[in-house]
Amino acid sequence: MGTSTRRSRRLMALAAVAALATGLLAGCSKDSDDGSSNDSGGNAKGKTTLTIGTFGVFGYKQAGLYDEYMKLHPDISIKENVTTRTDVYWPKVLTRLQAGSGTDDVQAIEVGNITEAVQTQGSKFVDLGKDVDKSQWLGWKNSQATTKDGKLIGLGTDVGPMAICYRKDLFKKAGLDTDRTKLAAQWKGDWSKYVDVGKEYMKKAPKGTKFVDSASSVYNAALGGASERYYDKGGNVIWDKSNGVKSAWDDAMAVATSDMSAKLKQFDKPWDQGFANGTFATVACPAWMIGYIEQKSGDSGKGNWDVAAAPTAANWGGSFLGVPTAGKHQKEAIALTKWLTAPEQQAKVFAKQASFPSTPSAYAGLKPAADTTAYFSNAPITQIFADSAKTIPVQYFGIKDQPINTAITDVGILQVEQKGKSPTQGWDAAKNEVKDVLGQ
């Protein structure tokens, strides 16, 4: 009796294990079934599920593009895997690419990572160049995603042409011009002139407000217009000799050592609160930030925000969509990528949340959402961003572009801005940090 119950228990355990195992196996075999059905062009009995991996907010879901695509292609269903933070998203993608499994069918790549992808992961992505008309995209956008042997591993989504978003009401109280063209003319050509306007602002600044959110935002904006960044064309690190870095650093230091900065760290909660409470009067705003400002400032900012052209044409951010070779549904994934990045769809995303297209042919018909236009005092944002986008210089990125940038903004500049260190001390700290990044 005793043995028989034990045996029956063991049998049950065995059965449970077996059931689990078959379940797992079934899971696997189902996947491969999908793979084979996809060769026959996706038949009626099984829908092909495409996964797309993104970070932050890409706006495809918000603009209803997935639904639209699924309606056009009834045999396809799309699943978006969103990771909020890029610094979490990218390492995950890198390891999966190299493991050759676990990648999504379509993977988004941030501009700061595109060089690393091009130089080290080129063979892990499908060459999209054959399938599209490359001339649709801005030339500099394409060149960023092209490998040495001419393979295009990512199609451009949005770009981040720069403008200055400013609070008209605060400018008025500080006794400054509030007209966007006059302001643009005042700081045209040089970010140091923008800093000069800041000095004017601080003379009569409304109580509790500062001119700009942070010194780092000025740095990023100024560097975004420089043709020389951290790497030269040949991929050599030139960060401590680069003219672009030097002049952007100087502009940032002028802000950090004055009292015109609200000393906030971008994308932190307090920064969001700063928008809501109107504690800073300007922010260098790439197109993708427009939607962010509208959302975070809320009703208090409505009609008070305005947009003026930035001192120089600059780019900050923007992404690509690539198709990993490890994906099971490459043909469908390529089609989806092509469709999502086509000018018409980019225009739709712009209409929803002002992410600016990387395809110039879309510019003529761009229409921002009506409430966005009203929110930003009817500023011609399409015009302003388009002008900037077309004149952005070609920039060369490097493998460690992002960590170097973080070292400079979040160590060097922050030490000067928040801890009262001298610019020389801040630069030395950044230098140590970059050395650590580069393993020197």
Of the candidates 310, 366, 370, the residue with the CA atom closest to the CA atom of residue 358: 366
Q: Is 8 or 120 the residue whose CB approaches other proteins more closely?
A: 120
Instruction: In angstroms, give the least distance from the CB of 212 to other proteins.
Output: 14
Q: Is 116 or 169 the residue whose CB approaches other proteins more closely?
A: 116
Question: In the numeric block, which tokens belong to residue 238?
Answer: 């030139």
**List 77, 258, 325, 406, residue binding other proteins (CB under 8 A):** 406
Instruction: In angstroms, give the least distance from the CB of 94 to other proteins.
Output: 5
Which of helix, strand or coil describes residue 127?
A: coil
Residue 263 lies near other proteins (rule: CB under 8 A)? yes
Find all residues with CB under 8 Å of 71, minimum gap 6, and list them: none
Residues 374 and 420: their CA atoms lie apart, in Å, by: 40
Contact window for other proteins (CB under 8 A) among 158-166, 256-264, 309-317, 371-379: 256-264
Size of the site for other proteins (CB under 8 A): 38
DSSP state of 408: I
Contact window for other proteins (CB under 8 A) among 176-184, 229-237, 268-276, 303-311: 268-276
**List 265, 296, 302, 331, residue binding other proteins (CB under 8 A):** 265
Residue 120 lies near other proteins (rule: CB under 8 A)? yes
Ordered alpha helix ranges (H), 267-422: 269-277, 287-297, 330-341, 343-353, 370-375, 381-390, 401-406, 414-419
Q: What are phi and psi of 149, to 5 degrees?
A: -90, 20
**List 264, 281, 340, 392, residue binding other proteins (CB under 8 A):** 264
**List 279, 304, 353, 372, residue binding other proteins (CB under 8 A):** 279
**List 266, 325, 361, 377, residue binding other proteins (CB under 8 A):** 266
Contact window for other proteins (CB under 8 A) among 92-100, 126-134, 141-149, 185-193: 92-100
Residue 380 lies near other proteins (rule: CB under 8 A)? no
Of the candidates 394, 385, 351, 386, the residue with the CA atom closest to the CA atom of residue 369: 351
Of the candidates 23, 91, 58, the residue with the CA atom closest to the CA atom of residue 318: 58
Residues 319 and 355: their CA atoms lie apart, in Å, by: 10
Residue pair 195/264 in contact (Cβ under 8 Å)? The answer is: no
Residue pair 350/385 in contact (Cβ under 8 Å)? The answer is: no
Instruction: In angstroms, give the least distance from the CB of 88 to other proteins.
Output: 8
Q: Is 1 or 44 the residue whose CB approaches other proteins more closely?
A: 1
- The interface with other proteins within residues 34-53 (CB under 8 A) comprises none
**List 8, 43, 181, 273, residue binding other proteins (CB under 8 A):** 273
Per DSSP, the chain holds a count of helices (H) and strands (E) of 19, 9
Contact window for other proteins (CB under 8 A) among 45-53, 183-191, 367-375, 409-417: 409-417
Partner residues linked to 280 by β-bridges: 210
Residue 139 lies near other proteins (rule: CB under 8 A)? no
Of the candidates 297, 315, 314, the residue with the CA atom closest to the CA atom of residue 306: 297
The string of DSSP letters for 247-298 reads: HHHHHHHHHHTSS-B--PPTTSHHHHHHHHHT-EEEEEEEHHHHHHHHHHHG
Q: Is 138 or 264 the residue whose CB approaches other proteins more closely?
A: 264
Instruction: In angstroms, give the least distance from the CB of 105 to other proteins.
Output: 21
Q: Is 12 or 267 the residue whose CB approaches other proteins more closely?
A: 267
From residue 410 to residue 439, the character string flagging contacts with other proteins as x (rule: CB under 8 A) and all else as - is xx--xx--xx---------x--x---xx-x
Q: Please, what is the angle between helix 191-203 and helix 180-187, to 10°?
A: 120
DSSP state of 67: H
Residues in the chain: 440
Which of helix, strand or coil describes residue 166?
A: strand
**List 379, 400, 408, 427, residue binding other proteins (CB under 8 A):** 400
Of the candidates 338, 357, 334, 337, the residue with the CA atom closest to the CA atom of residue 347: 357
Residues 323 and 329: their CA atoms lie apart, in Å, by: 10
Residue 64 lies near other proteins (rule: CB under 8 A)? no
**List 267, 365, 391, 422, residue binding other proteins (CB under 8 A):** 267
Question: Which residues are near other proteins by CB under 8 A?
Answer: 3, 87-88, 91, 94-95, 98, 116, 120-121, 262-270, 273-274, 277, 279, 399-400, 403, 406, 410-411, 414-415, 418-419, 429, 432, 436-437, 439
